């Protein structure tokens, strides 16, 4: 019962916004008639917004982009970061490693929202740009984790044993190293996705990368703020949906992680000899807890 | 390696980092779309006027020369002059810094003791009701974007209940005179860092309390309080220091959203405005300033971390 | 001094129906050394913890433990400081963020003899207590040590710091858990000295060890444990020289005096050496290493590990490379395999010079030189079945089809004593000893002309070690491959090696036939490794 409750809260909090975001656009029968701005009631269940559109209809339309952009950005970041981090970890020359990792430190040198604002003004506006920028901001964090994990796996005697067996580079790197770090990466996926969600929503709220009258929950929160005193639902409904989605997704991933790494030892988590010097000095990866999402500041 | 040596080395690396970031920022902002002179000339540009602006901004000079002038200016602490208002960039910095510093300092003053306390209490009573509550709430709060939380809080406490002012409009830069204005921004700013830091402290504390060295300290007859305070806590805090640095850095430059919601004229607002107006010298100056604070904060964190956890001889 | 300091009556510790300690009784008097001897998992540490009033999680404990007149049970520890405990891994019990001196003073504060009025007097008393403990633990008393952090100390120093912390509290009993494991012979001799001096001061010492050399040198009484049950006990000299129980006999046989092995071997090696010289192949030079130089690290941190090392081994011969930890013996082996690229010098197998780096070696060259890792578990992929991993050797190095390779791998696995059941499992389903056998099979499948074994018995308990060594001896008898053994354990060397090469700080300091080197070591390092005392003859090992 208690177990069900724990999954349930996360499930409901995620499910409602997810359902609205995915199915919402099909429920809208075309552009509704415009009425006056910030009307409460009057045939509109949630009133009207700053240009007189129906808020409920906008809510139905506005979830898809946030979700899609966050998902695509996460996927894109992993697609780039995994080969990148592995390449840095298995490179035989120290300078290759440095060359691959140092530029990423630059991205980390400024708070991510700040960089997002800067980058978004340079690039052409639009969802693809936002996907690319959010992916770029998530890239250093994921690459570091991939590199650290691959470095640990790569320094195990197993890799040398494979080399002595005459195995080639691909078989060792993809067949052993990449496969062995999947677990570590999966454990990190949740934080990365919520981090991307956070960045996408915050960027849209600041009007970065989206047109000012877009049907987007975060944009709605921003544009309808002047009507907060008259017609609070135009702001509150999308804001609450974003809150529910963030909290729900985080709770679900947390539960999933707790259940999986619960009882019993995890295979592969053995204390092994690490190539200490490189792991520690490499990119300032300190031994310690899992890094928090880089994309989402603190 | 002694602490002094370590700090000196870190400082040199830091100066290098600032230089690299400064170069990157200059090149990036130069790549901003559209000719700044055209943008500034207004809706109906007159070619002569554009030419004039170009000369004033020295846009006719080659990129390398302008970059060199700008870099030389940096060394003289001269960040240049705004294109829009002709005010010195330093004045923009000074204006925005006051509110940002007030918010950052107050947040940190509440954050550190509260987060450490919550983490330690949760760890000592691991599995108890308080621990479960703190853990669940922190997991939930951790991912909420500030603007959404801020709007909900404003709607409830500012609009419906009317307990607190919804924004800082009309207060200007002098936030400390109007403490009521600060309550909601502080709550929003605290929400995420408290979760992440108390979680790290809790995890570090649980690990330390379960460690062989704590068990051994008890065997040697040291009291429970002493073991917790002098043997376990330093290890727990050391685990949270990098995250605290990250938070500080964010508070000094990255709270654009909170400033936007509560209309606080801090550094983040200054940057958003400058980007929107294509005011290149201001954008460049602010970015360099943020790079310096980032490097400084991380330097302090690394030195503190080095002191707390002397094994990490990390040199970046 | 007739009343025992520690008295244990019928101690039973049970976890989930399994008895870790099963009916153990002992008495320990001041100034005496009592050794609990047994393989790993025999209940030694559990007994030691029981004296501290601790038990493994979820354990039920019955029986009576009295320490210094106080009855002790889980949750009811002895008087703080009465029992000094030096665990097997001292690094784990030292707080990484606290300086050595700070913690020593903190413990001393807690154990001040009586309430004192002035702060100044307290401070001088604390300093005196700390200095005294540091001296008794044989640590340097200068101002340097207190300022150090644990990670800045060597393993031996860490152990002594833990001891000093305990001595500040003025203990009556010392529980020393495997104090010599993983240490070279020189450090072992120092530890023996140290513990003997403490016993002479009147501290009762409970020694938990599987190292019979140390037990011989120190203990007055011995209790032999097997799966938690005491199988034999008595005066040390009697139990170890004329063991009554068969298990004790097996233990003693597994770790005999170095001297006895050499004389045993002299009889049967005579025959086999003769047989080898008959067919003439025994004298062919198989492996040759010429003026090998190797470095670790790069740039400013680059340091030389090997200086102009030469080595030769004939076909069918077993050469042992011995040395203290850090002497460069593993690097030498890795240079031969090509895992570590030598800076200069050559490695020649059967007259053909091998490329320094494994990357540039042909498949035949790879098959010619194989290496078995110290960390068997780490040398396997956790996700794939053992058989699949091992058969890849035949696929890659001999171009066999997967089916042929699997058959060949299975045959080799049987030869090292594993069956289909083992082969089907992933590495997690195998014990450390079984995995080491599997690793051997993986190397043997390549039909190597030179097989290097790097400390392959060091992580295993005595009896498992014994089994692996038997296997190596059998393999050596049935193939003409050259075996290179890297070890710091002279007992292992004495059993298997024809030739011994002694490395120290990257240089060969002594070499020669095993019988000669072991019987008449010429270099101080060799003597130290053998545990031959430099100053006090007949004192350290033989007592």
Given a cut of 50, whether residue A296 has pLDDT beyond it is no
**Range with lowest mean pLDDT among A108-117, C15-24, C408-417:** A108-117
Q: Tell me the per-residue pLDDT of A124-164, one tens digit each, with 9 for 90 and over.
A: 777 888 899 899 988 988 998 898 888 888 888 899 899 99
Q: Is B212 on the interface with C (CB under 8 A)?
A: yes
- Judged against a pLDDT cut of 90, whether residue A209 lies above it is answered with no
The 10s digit of each residue's pLDDT in A237-291 is: 888 888 888 888 888 887 777 766 543 333 333 333 333 333 333 333 333 333 3
Question: Encoding tokens for residue B97?
Answer: 């810094």
- Residue C207: predicted pLDDT: 93
Nearest chain B Cα distance for residue A23, angstroms: 23
pLDDT in the model for residue C205: 93
d(CA B122, CA C284): 71
Per residue in C438-475, pLDDT tens?
999 999 898 898 999 988 877 677 777 888 888 888 88
Instruction: Indicate yes or no: CB of C298 within 8 angstroms of CB of A268.
Output: no
Confirm or reject contact between B226 and chain C (CB < 8 A): yes
Pick from A137, A280, A149: which is nearest to A196 by CA? A137
- Is residue C513 scored above 80 in pLDDT? yes
Cβ distance A164 to C337 less than 8 Å, yes or no, reads yes
- Chains touching C (at least 3 CB pairs under 8 A) are A, B
Nearest CA in chain A to C391: A165
Q: What's chain B's average pLDDT?
A: 80
Q: Please, what is the average pLDDT of chain A?
A: 75
Confidence of residue C146 (pLDDT cuts 50, 70, 90): confident
Q: What is the pLDDT of residue B38?
A: 62
The one-character DSSP state at B147 is H
Q: CB-based contact (8 Å) between B212 and chain A?
A: no
- The CATH code of the domain at C6-82+171-253 is 3.40.50.300
Q: Which residues of B touch C85 (CB under 8 A)?
A: 216, 219
Least confident of B206-220, B267-281, C429-443, C483-497: B267-281
Whether residues A243 and B152 touch (CB distance < 8 A) is answered with: yes
Write out chain B residues lying below 8 Å of A288, CB-based: 238-239, 242
Average pLDDT for C423-443: 87
pLDDT at residue B89 tops 90: no
- Name residues whose C-beta falls within 8 Å of residue C281's C-beta, 6 or more positions apart in sequence: C315, C316, C480
Chain C touched by B234 (CB under 8 Å)? yes
CB–CB of A277 and C380 under 8 A? no
Q: Map out the domains of chain B as residue ranges.
A: 89-308
Which ipTM was obtained for this model?
0.76
Q: For an interface test with A, which of B36, B144, B239 has the most A Cβ atoms less than 10 Å from its Cβ?
A: B144
Q: What is the pLDDT of residues B123-162, one digit of tens each?
A: 888 888 888 888 888 877 877 888 888 888 888 887 777 7
For residue B277 the two structure tokens come to 């107006």
B167 in reach of chain C (CB within 8 A): no
Q: To which CATH superfamily is domain C263-377+450-529 assigned?
A: P-loop containing nucleotide triphosphate hydrolases (3.40.50.300)
Note the pTM of the prediction, 2 decimals: 0.73
Put simply, the answer to whether B294 touches A109 (Cβ < 8 Å) is: yes
Contacts with B290 from chain A: Cβ below 8 Å: 110-111, 114
Q: Comparing A24-38, A181-195, C105-119, C478-492, which segment has the lowest mean pLDDT?
A: A24-38
A interface with C, Cβ–Cβ < 8 A, is 94, 156-158, 160-167, 176, 179-180, 267-268, 270, 272-273, 277
In angstroms, what CA-CA distances link C137 with A227, B146, C101, C200, C528? 77, 58, 14, 13, 22
**C99 → chain B, closest CA residue:** B310
Cα C470 to Cα C488: distance, rounded to the nearest angstrom: 18
Residues of A in contact with C331 (CB under 8 A): none
Angle at C198 between CA C196 and CA C204, to 5 degrees: 95
Q: Which CATH number is B89-308's, of 3.90.180.10, 1.10.287.3510, 1.10.3720.10, 3.40.50.1400?
A: 1.10.3720.10
Q: Which pLDDT value is given to residue B316?
A: 29
Average pLDDT over residues C297-312: 81
Topology alike, domains C6-82+171-253 and C263-377+450-529 = yes
Q: How many CB pairs under 8 A join A and B?
A: 163
Give the separation between CA C303 and CA C301, rounded to whole angstroms: 6
Residue C392 and residue A267: Cβ atoms within 8 Å? no
Size of interface A-C (CB pairs under 8 A): 65
A contacts of B144 (beta carbons < 8 Å): 242-243, 246-247
Q: Using 50, 70 and 90 to split pLDDT, how confident is the model at A182?
A: confident
- The alpha-carbon gap from C197 to the nearest alpha carbon of chain B, in Å, equals 22
| Rounded average pLDDT over A66-91 | 90
Range B248-262 average pLDDT? 84
Cβ pair A110:B291 closer than 8 A: yes
What pLDDT does B109 receive? 93
Judged by CB atoms closer than 8 Å, whether chains meet at A166 and C379 is answered as no
What residue ranges define each of the domains in chain A, with the CATH number in brackets?
A: 1-62+218-261 (no CATH), 65-214 (1.10.3720.10)
Q: Does B220 touch chain C (CB under 8 A)?
A: yes
Say whether pLDDT at A30 is over 70.
no
**B221/C93 CB distance under 8 A:** no
- Which of A162, A268, A273 lies closest to C382 in CB terms? A268
Q: Which residues lie closer than 8 Å to B83 by C-beta, 6 or more apart?
A: B36, B40, B57, B278, B279, B280, B281, B282
A166–C363 C-beta distance less than 8 A? yes
Residue C300: pLDDT over 70: no
Contact list, C383 vs chain A (CB under 8 Å): 179-180, 268
DSSP C230-292: EEEEEEHHHHHHS--SHHHHHHHHHS--HHHHHHHHHHHHHHHHHHHHHHSGGGSEEEEEEEE
Contact B20 A106 (CB under 8 A): yes
For residue B87 the two structure tokens come to: 């005010």
Q: Which two tokens stand for residue C388?
A: 């699949």
Nearest CA in chain B to C168: B220
* List of chains touching A (3+ CB pairs within 8 A): B, C
Task: Give burial (CB, 10 Å; 0-12/13-18/19+) of C507.
Answer: middle
Secondary structure class of A216 (helix, strand, coil): coil
Instruction: Name chain C contacts of B310, Cβ cutoff 8 Å.
Output: 96-97, 149, 151
Question: What is the 8-class DSSP label of residue A41?
Answer: B
Residue C529, min C-alpha distance to chain A (Å):
26
Please tell me if residue B155 touches chain A, with a CB cutoff of 8 Å: yes
Query: Measuring CA to CA, which residue among B19, B186, B46 is closest to residue B102?
Result: B186
**Contact list, B268 vs chain A (CB under 8 Å):** 114
Residue B234 has its nearest CB partner, among C92, C97, C151, at C97
Supply the pLDDT for residue A298.
Answer: 38
Please tell me the predicted confidence (pLDDT) of residue A82. Answer: 92
DSSP B39-107: HHT-SS--HHHHHHHHHHHTTTS-HHHHHHHHHHHHHTT---B-TTT--BHHHHHHHHHHHHHHHHHHH
Residue C33 pLDDT > 90, yes or no? yes
Q: How far apart are CA C224 and CA C42, in angstroms?
A: 9
Tell which of C381, C392, C408 to mutate to test the A interface (max A CBs under 10 Å).
C381
Residue B65 scores a pLDDT above 70: yes
Q: Which residue stretches of C137-227 are H helix?
A: 144-147, 155-168, 185-200, 212-218
User: According to the model, what pLDDT value does residue C273 have?
Assistant: 38
The per-residue pLDDT for range C340-397, each reduced to its tens digit, is 888 899 999 988 899 988 888 888 888 899 999 888 888 898 888 999 999 998 888 8
- Give the separation between CA C86 and CA C348, rounded to whole angstroms: 47
Q: Do A284 and B314 touch (CB under 8 A)?
A: yes
Name chain A contacts of B190, Cβ cutoff 8 Å.
Answer: none
């Amino acid at each position: 019962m208690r177990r069900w409750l724990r999954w349930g809260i996360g499930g409901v909090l995620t499910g409602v916004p997810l359902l609205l975001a995915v199915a919402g656009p099909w429920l809208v029968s075309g552009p509704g008639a415009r009425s006056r701005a910030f009307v409460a009631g009057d045939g509109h269940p949630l009133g009207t917004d700053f240009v007189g559109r129906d808020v409920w209809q906008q809510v139905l339309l506005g979830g898809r982009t946030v979700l899609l952009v966050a998902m695509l950005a996460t996927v894109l970041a992993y697609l780039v970061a995994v080969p990148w981090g592995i390449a840095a970890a298995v490179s035989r020359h120290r300078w290759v490693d440095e060359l691959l990792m140092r530029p990423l430190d630059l991205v980390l040198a400024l708070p991510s929202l700040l960089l997002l604002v800067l980058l978004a003004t340079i690039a052409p506006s639009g969802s693809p740009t936002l996907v690319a920028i959010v992916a770029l901001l998530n890239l250093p964090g994921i690459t570091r984790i991939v590199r650290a994990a691959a470095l640990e796996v790569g320094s195990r005697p197993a890799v040398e044993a494979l080399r002595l067996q005459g195995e080639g580079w691909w078989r060792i790197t993809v067949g052993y190293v990449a496969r062995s770090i999947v677990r570590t990466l999966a454990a990190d996926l949740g934080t990365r996705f919520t981090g991307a969600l956070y960045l996408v929503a915050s960027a849209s709220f600041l009007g970065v990368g989206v047109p000012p009258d877009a049907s987007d929950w975060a944009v709605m929160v921003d544009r309808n703020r002047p009507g907060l005193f008259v017609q609070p639902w135009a702001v509150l409904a999308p804001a609450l949906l974003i809150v529910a989605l963030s909290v729900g997704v985080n709770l679900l991933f947390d539960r999933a992680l707790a259940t999986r790494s619960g009882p019993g030892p995890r295979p592969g988590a053995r204390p092994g000899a690490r190539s200490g010097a490189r792991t520690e000095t490499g990119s300032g990866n300190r031994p310690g807890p899992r890094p928090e999402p880089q994309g989402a500041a603190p | 390696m002694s602490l002094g040596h370590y700090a000196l080395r870190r400082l040199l690396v830091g100066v290098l980092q600032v230089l690299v970031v400064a170069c990157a920022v200059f090149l990036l902002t130069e790549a901003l779309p559209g000719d700044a002179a055209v943008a500034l000339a207004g809706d109906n540009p007159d070619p002569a006027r554009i030419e004039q602006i170009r000369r004033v901004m020295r846009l006719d000079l080659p990129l390398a020369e302008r970059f060199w002038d700008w870099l030389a200016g940096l060394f003289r602490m001269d960040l240049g002059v705004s294109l829009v208002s002709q005010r010195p960039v330093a004045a923009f910095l000074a204006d925005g810094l006051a509110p940002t510093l007030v918010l950052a300092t107050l947040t940190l003053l509440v954050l550190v003791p509260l987060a450490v306390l919550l983490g330690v209490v949760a760890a000592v009573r691991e599995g108890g009701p308080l621990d479960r509550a703190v853990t669940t709430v922190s997991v939930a709060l951790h991912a909420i974007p500030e603007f959404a939380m801020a709007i909900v809080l404003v709607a409830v406490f500012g609009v419906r209940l009317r307990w607190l002012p919804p924004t800082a409009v009309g207060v200007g830069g002098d936030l400390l005179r109007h403490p009521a204005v600060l309550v909601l921004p502080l709550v929003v700013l605290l929400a995420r860092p408290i979760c992440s830091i108390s979680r790290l402290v809790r995890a570090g504390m649980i690990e330390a309390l379960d460690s062989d060295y704590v068990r051994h300290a008890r065997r040697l007859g040291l009291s429970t309080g002493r073991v917790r305070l002098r043997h376990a806590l330093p290890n727990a805090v050391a685990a949270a220091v990098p995250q605290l640095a990250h938070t500080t850095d964010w508070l000094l430059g990255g709270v654009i959203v909170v400033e936007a919601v509560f209309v606080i004229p801090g550094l983040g607002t200054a940057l958003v405005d400058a980007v929107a107006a294509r005011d290149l010298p201001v954008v460049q100056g602010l970015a360099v300033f943020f790079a310096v604070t980032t490097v400084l904060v991380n330097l302090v964190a690394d030195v503190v971390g080095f002191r707390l956890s002397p094994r990490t001889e990390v040199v970046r | 001094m007739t009343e025992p300091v520690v008295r244990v009556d019928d101690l039973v510790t049970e976890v989930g129906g399994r008895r870790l300690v099963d009916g153990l009784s002992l008495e320990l008097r001041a100034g005496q050394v009592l050794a609990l001897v047994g393989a790993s998992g025999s209940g030694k540490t559990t007994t030691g913890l029981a004296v501290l009033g601790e038990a493994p999680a979820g354990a039920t404990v019955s029986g009576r433990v009295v320490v210094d007149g106080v009855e002790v049970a889980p949750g009811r520890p002895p008087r703080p400081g009465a029992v000094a405990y030096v665990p097997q891994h001292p690094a784990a019990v030292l707080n990484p963020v606290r300086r050595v001196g700070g913690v020593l003073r903190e413990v001393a504060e807690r154990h001040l003899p009586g309430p004192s009025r002035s702060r100044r007097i307290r401070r001088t008393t604390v300093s005196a207590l700390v200095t005294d403990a540091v001296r008794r633990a044989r640590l340097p008393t200068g101002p340097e040590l207190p300022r150090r952090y644990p990670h800045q100390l060597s393993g031996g120093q860490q152990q002594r710091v833990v001891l000093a912390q305990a001595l500040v509290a003025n203990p009556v009993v010392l529980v020393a858990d495997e104090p010599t494991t993983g240490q070279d012979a020189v450090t072992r001799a120092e530890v023996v000295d140290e513990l003997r001096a403490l016993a002479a001061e009147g501290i009762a010492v409970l020694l938990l060890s599987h190292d019979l050399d140390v037990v011989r040198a120190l203990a007055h009484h011995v209790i032999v444990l097997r799966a938690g049950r005491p199988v034999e006990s008595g005066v040390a000299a009697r139990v170890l020289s004329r063991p009554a129980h068969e298990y004790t006999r097996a233990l003693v046989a597994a770790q005999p005096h170095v001297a006895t092995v050499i004389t045993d071997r002299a009889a049967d090696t005579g025959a086999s050496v003769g047989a080898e010289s008959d067919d003439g192949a025994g004298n062919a030079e198989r492996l040759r290493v010429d003026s090998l130089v190797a470095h670790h690290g790069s740039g400013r941190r680059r340091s030389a590990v090997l200086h102009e090392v030469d080595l030769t081994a004939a076909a069918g011969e077993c050469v042992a490379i011995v040395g203290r930890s850090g002497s460069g013996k593993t690097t030498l082996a890795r240079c031969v395999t090509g895992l570590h690229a030598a800076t200069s010098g050559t490695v020649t197998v059967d007259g053909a010079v091998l490329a320094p780096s494994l990357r540039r070696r042909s498949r035949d060259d790879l098959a010619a030189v194989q290496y078995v890792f110290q960390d068997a578990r780490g040398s396997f992929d956790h996700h794939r079945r053992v058989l699949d991993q091992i058969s890849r050797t035949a696929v890659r190095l001999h171009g066999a089809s997967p089916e042929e390779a699997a058959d060949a791998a299975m045959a080799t696995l049987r030869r090292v004593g594993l069956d289909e059941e083992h082969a089907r499992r992933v590495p997690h389903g195998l014990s450390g000893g079984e995995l080491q056998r599997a690793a051997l099979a993986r190397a043997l499948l390549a039909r190597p002309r030179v097989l290097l074994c790097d400390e392959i018995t060091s992580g295993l308990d005595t009896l498992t070690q014994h089994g692996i060594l038997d296997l190596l001896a059998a393999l050596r008898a049935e193939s003409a491959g050259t075996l290179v053994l890297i070890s710091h354990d002279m007992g292992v060397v004495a059993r298997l090696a024809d030739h011994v090469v002694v490395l120290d700080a990257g240089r060969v300091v002594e070499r020669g036939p095993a019988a000669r080197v072991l019987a008449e070591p010429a270099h101080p390092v060799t003597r130290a490794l053998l545990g031959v005392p430099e100053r006090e003859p007949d004192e350290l090992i033989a007592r």
